[in-house]
Amino acid sequence: MAEKINIIPWLIAVLLLVAWISLGQGSVPVSVWSGLHDWFNAMPSKEALIIGEIRLPRTLLALAVGAALGMSGAALQGLLRNPLAEPGLVGASQGAALGAATVFYFGLFTSFGTLAVTVAGLVGAILALSLMLGLSGSGRPSMVILAGLAISTIAGAALAIVLNFAPNPYAMQELVFWLLGSVSNRGLDSLFVLIPSLLLGGIIIWTQRPLLAALSLGEQVATSMGMAVNRGSRLIVLGVAILVGASVSVAGNIGFVGLLVPHLLRPFTGYRPDQLLIPSAIAGAILVCLADIFVRLLPFGQELKLGVLTSLLGAPLFIWLVIRESKRWP
């Protein structure tokens, strides 16, 4: 059994290191220090432009998206008492993608700009999660996965309709690329949507830590200990939907982060779902940022999409998890 240690300071140290590497990584070698310095002081140098306008948004976006996905995975797994729960597997990501794509491509609420796409993503994620919870009836692992599959399939079919009626082939290609998941070329204004969503969703979930802890022993025990299980569960779903909706609407589908990160960290937090939230958020940020650095290092002409890479790495681990779960007690 792994010892329970406070891993948060270590994770933060790794996070800073990875962020620094990410700022230094690109086609042009640039001094990160002088670039940041010039950018903060609004000096119009080449370094300031590259670091401040391209790499900093990309790095911060990768960190924010990763944090949102890591925390939402930890919250969902705790809520459903199911180590296989993940935003992508329970239909939340697909719901968010459908919502965002619909608004984006039918040009609805254009006066609200990126906010409209984000809100649509959020609404899509809430709808998908609510339908999933309604369909699964309980937190039973097999039912959650089945209901999630059903909802993802429906959302995927609806998304196909949106693609089908895309205004032109170029628009369709753009939509598909966006769906594959990436944090490049997004600009700083995406962060103005993502950071508040990250804080809001994170705080909502953070307030429900006692419920996540109590649910370890089941709903009956949680209720008998004075927890408002229904209300709290809905709040957690809302928090997850905000996190997933915002990150998908900005960066597309980046799968398996919410599955892998909580799973890898669980032994270090004594398997306690309430103590897993913050470490998962930080480690999610690290993982997505690392993956994004890796994507930039690949020698292909066309950049491999971030979401494709996380899926390639995540899927085998998911299969391994399924095999291990099938042998687990009781």
Partner 1 sequence: MALISTQSLKVDSRIRDLSFELHRGEVLGLIGPNGAGKSTLLHALVGLEDYLGSIECDDRAFDNYTRNQRARLIGLQPQTINSAWPISVRDVVSLGRIPWGDEDSNAVDHAMQLADITDFSERRVDHLSGGERARVWLARVLAGQPQVLLADEPVANLDIHFQLSVMDVLKNYAAQSHGVIVALHDLSLAARYCDKLCLLKAGQCVAYGTSDEVLTESLLQSVYEIEVDVDLNRMPPIVLPK
- The sign of the CA dihedral 21, 26, 32, 38 is negative
Q: Please state, in angstroms and rounded to a whole number, the distance separating the CA atoms of residues 235 and 243.
A: 12
Residue among 33 and 320 whose Cβ is closer to partner 1 = 320
* Nearer of residues 24 and 141 to partner 1, judged by Cβ: 141
Q: Which is nearer to partner 1, 59 or 82 (CB)?
A: 82
CA distance 193 to 166: 25
Q: Minimal distance in Å, beta carbon 92 to partner 1?
A: 20
- Residue 270 φ then ψ, to 5°: 65, 25
**Region of 90 on the Ramachandran plot (φ > 0 left; ψ -120 to 50 alpha; else beta):** alpha
Minimum distance of partner 1 from residue 233's CB (angstroms): 14
Please state, in angstroms and rounded to a whole number, the distance separating the CA atoms of residues 275 and 237: 18
Residue 72: partners with Cβ closer than 8 Å, 6 or more residues away: 87, 92, 201, 205, 239, 240, 243, 244, 258
Closest separation between CB of residue 139 and partner 1, Å? 8
Structure tokens at 304: 């491999």
Q: CB of 136: closest distance to partner 1 in angstroms?
A: 15
Nearer to partner 1, 44 or 328 (CB): 328
CB of 191 within 8 A of CB of 60?
A: yes
- How many Å separate Cα 271 from the centre of its chain? 21
- Cβ closest to partner 1, residue 25 vs residue 269: 269
Comparison of 188 and 217: residue with beta carbon closer to partner 1: 217
Say if CB 190 and CB 57 are below 8 A apart. yes
Q: How far is the CB of 270 from partner 1 (least distance, A)?
A: 6
CB of 171 to partner 1, least distance (A): 45
The minimum distance between CB 216 and partner 1, in angstroms, equals 5
Spatial distance between the Cα atoms of 63 and 291, rounded to a whole number of angstroms:
11
**Taking the complex as a whole, how short is the minimal distance between the CB of residue 76 and partner 1, in angstroms?**
13
Closer of 160 and 221 to partner 1 (Cβ):
221
- CA separation for the pair 253, 128 (Å, rounded): 15
Q: How far apart are the first and last CA of the chain?
A: 19
CB of 89 to partner 1, least distance (A): 17
- Interface residues with partner 1 (CB under 8 A)? 1, 4, 81-82, 210, 213-218, 220-221, 223-228, 266, 270-273, 329-330
Looking from the CA of 36 toward its CB, the CA atoms found within 13 Å total 10
> By C-beta, is 220 or 302 nearer to partner 1?
220
- Give the nearer residue to partner 1 in terms of CB position, either 217 or 298: 217
**Torsion 62-250-172-150 (CA) sign:** positive
